[in-house]
Amino acid sequence: MIKSSFGVGKNTEDVGLCVDEAVKNFKDPKIIFFFAGENNFTEIARLMSEKFPETICMGCSAYRIWNADGADKNVLKAVAIEDGVTCSAGVIEKADNFALEYADGIEKCAKEIGETENTICVEFTSPYVRSEEYALMALNSVLLRDDIPIIGGTAANSVSDKEGSEEAYVSLNGEVYTEGCVYALIHNINGRIILRRENIYEPLTGRHHTVTKANSITRTVMTYDEKPAVSVYAEELNVMPEDIDKYFFHFPMGRREGDDFYVTAIQGEGSHGSLKHHARVYEGTDMMVMKEGDFRQINDRTLEEVKSKIPNPSLVILFHCVARTVLFEEKNYLDEYCGKIARALPNFIGFSCMGEQMGTNNFNHTMMLAVFE
């Protein structure tokens, strides 16, 4: 069983006291995960590493920071895993361009762990530089050989994507990165680890549209079915093309994967009738306009499924999209939802992220759980 300790620092006026408050119960941790707002993040990362120089200290800025007490802004929340795991960590410093050059470091971390069963890779990636797919490519170039799954999230900030700030960070052992990906391989010595992804969206009309022209690097779709992407999207919603920006948030795009969907957020309208996205969309992909489903029922079902597999998890790490978080705020549901998680999975910590990554996929509007037996 994993032994872990949780801590919260609320003294945002004094960063030193904030860190002291959050880590006061930590004893000889093997790895610390921490989440905070963008303000003072660099100082928090430095102080955390100085206090635990022999410990892997991995952090991420976030829109909301989650634990059993609630989903809060601009606080410091951390978990120290003190026993029951072996772990190793590394960084891809230039994840937006040269990620594959860091494959040797990933290989070294995998060899340090030595175990592949009940082992996962947790990663945090910098936003706004389109680095998620590159980071996943580098990690999977090594980890896919041994079927080590990846779960992770993109850093965010406390003002949310709607307000346009691009200040967000990831960190490892006191160093802060704005174009990087930090990762940790964790092996659960005496138990399982399960990963769970939850999608709350369903097709709006059921009609498929094939991406016929796209720039995957800039995450832009020019045409569906040889027609401008804006026209196709407007037709699906039965609205005028000039009005579509009102619908981007509640009606993202999605692609079917088996019985489920991967959802891609629409960032905005591009030139010549194109649509820009927050994750890559490739030519030849069949896409559908999505709508919100009965998320309360879906949430309940997810928690029931997790509890049926691991009734009393030692630790749960939550990755929750900023878009979902904002949606639940708009519906006055966020506190109720956080309470549901706390009752079902009390030993949890997590953050609201700009994007979500699992396996080889980068997507949006999603919730994910890493659940440790």
pLDDT at 147 over 80: yes
Which one, of 227, 231, 254, lies nearest residue 244 by Cα? 231
pLDDT band at 173 (very low <50, low <70, confident <90, very high): very high
**pLDDT single digits (tens) 15-74:** 999 999 999 999 999 999 999 999 999 999 999 999 999 999 999 999 999 999 999 999
- What pLDDT does residue 160 have? 59
Model pLDDT for residues 271-317, shown as the tens digit of each residue: 999 999 999 999 999 999 999 999 999 999 999 999 999 999 999 99
pLDDT grade for 91, boundaries at 50, 70 and 90: very high
Q: Give the integer Cα–Cα distance in Å for 201 and 255.
A: 11
Task: Please check the confidence at residue 99 and state whether its pLDDT lies above 90.
Answer: no
Quick one: three-class SS letters along the chain? Answer: CCEEEEEEECCCCCHHHHHHHHHCCCCCCCEEEEEECCCCHHHHHHHHHHHCCCCEEEEEECCCEEECCEEECCCEEEEEEEECEEEEEEEECCCCCCHHHHHHHHHHHHHHHCCCCCEEEEEEECCCCCCHHHHHHHHHHHHHHHCCCEEEEECCCCCCHHHCCCCCCEEECCEEECCCEEEEEEEECCCCEEEEEEECEEECCCCCEEEEEEECCCCEEEEECCEEHHHHHHHHHCCCHHHHHHCCCCCCEEEEECCEEEEECEEEECHHHCEEECCCCCCCCEEEEEEECCHHHHHHHHHHHHHHHCCCCCEEEEEEEHHHHHHHHHCCCHHHHHHHHHHHCCCEEEEEECCEEECCEEECCEEEEEEEC
What digits encode the pLDDT tens for the residues 356-373? 999 999 999 999 999 999
Packing angle between helix 15-23 and helix 41-51, nearest 10 degrees? 50
- Rounded Cα gap, residues 200 and 207, in angstroms: 18
Q: What is the pLDDT of residue 11?
A: 87
pLDDT at residue number 164? 58
The Cα–Cα gap between 62 and 75 comes to: 10
Question: Rounded to whole angstroms, how far apart are CA atoms 259 and 255?
Answer: 11
- CA dist 217 and 132 (Å) reads 11
Which pLDDT value is given to residue 73? 94
Domain residue limits, the chain: 3-198+297-372, 201-291
pTM metric for this prediction: 0.96
pLDDT for 96 equals: 82
pLDDT score, position 44: 97
66-87 pLDDT tens trace? 999 999 999 999 999 999 999 9
Kindly give the interhelix angle for 295-309 and 334-344, rounded to the nearest 10 degrees. Answer: 10
Sign of dihedral through CA atoms 135, 136, 137, 141? positive
Query: Lowest mean pLDDT: which of 160-174, 187-201, 288-302?
Result: 160-174
Tokens 């969309």, residue located? 281
Question: In one letter, which amino acid is 346?
Answer: P
